[in-house]
Amino acid sequence: MRSIVKRHIVTSFRHLLLTAAFGAAIAVSNAFAHAGNHDDETQPLVFGVVPQQSSAKLIRDWSPVLKKVSEISGLKIRFATAPNIPEFEKRLAAGEYDVAYMNPYHFTVYNQSPGYKAFAHAKGKRIKGILVVNKSSDIKSVSDLQGKNLAFPAPAAFAATLLTQATLKNQGILFTPHYVGSHDSSYLAVADGLFDGGGGIVRTLGAAPPDAKSKLRVLFTTEGFTPHAIATHPSVSEDARIRLQNAFVTLSDSNEGENALKALNIKAFEQAEDKDWDDVRALQISVLNVD
């Protein structure tokens, strides 16, 4: 059964992966050779973005933002991501990103080791998980998910997986989880009828492929928490850290910066510190090791 489902997923997502392949190669190639080496400011900072969506989409949406941040801060920045969320987690654990945009749970883990330090998050936002079903489905309530096969991006995806699964478990719903690698893959799998429902977040659903989004409806939304962190590796100097923070916080002050942020569905960033994620720590989630 699993092999059949896997073949169907590969076929359904082939067009997405082909589109992403070229961009991913550009984004990631040679990036890690520079991570952690900041004696020479001519070397770019490697900015890692959690792969909630395809590499091609992330490159398209983040490039204008990072270009503007580079202009404001005077620092060179190189975009990077990973093929999937588990690989992104491995690279965070190894400290392969100088700066990273990571989900709230990731931050609580990698703040401990290797010691990423937060400096910004989206202003006035709370991250909420959603569970979507196909519009043609007869699933009308959470109880209808009993015994169903559900798609999720990855085991440690904070809102899309951990919060949505907690909602189901708290209501005594038994289900079979399938981890498909990204938010877009979750949406496409449900739209194509491969699974009965799938986890995601409001922001990525809004940016999902139109042919998938048009076939989906939100069944439920979870409680909100402090959103994704932008954090620096301990090897990044305090001067560079402050310049980056200033750049992100002032992005929305210009029309150019404001327009760049629209693709991320973020109006502005605000200053942050590590304790801002104490609400996530209070959940006492233990999915990833910090060793």
DSSP 8-62: HHHHHHHHHHHHHHHHHHHHHTTGGGTTT--SSTTSPEEEEE--SS-HHHHHHHH
- At position 143, the amino acid (one-letter code) is S
Q: pTM (2 decimals)?
A: 0.81
Q: Domains in the chain, start-ordered, CATH in brackets?
A: 12-125+227-281 (3.40.190.10), 128-221 (3.40.190.10)
pLDDT level of residue 290 (50, 70, 90 thresholds): low
Confidence class for position 57, pLDDT limits 50, 70, 90: very high
Token readout for 24 is 């991913």
pLDDT tens digits, one per residue of 34-44: 455 555 567 89
What digits encode the pLDDT tens for the residues 118-165? 999 999 999 999 999 999 999 999 999 999 999 999 999 999 999 999
**pLDDT digit string, tens, across residues 218-267:** 999 999 999 999 999 999 999 999 999 999 999 999 999 999 999 998 99
Which residue is associated with the tokens 């196909």?
A: 134
**Is the sign of the CA dihedral 19, 20, 24, 27 positive or negative?**
positive
For the stretch 189-198, pLDDT in tens is: 999 999 999 9
Residue type, 152: F
Q: 260: buried, middle or exposed (CB in 10 Å: 19+, 13-18, 0-12)?
A: buried
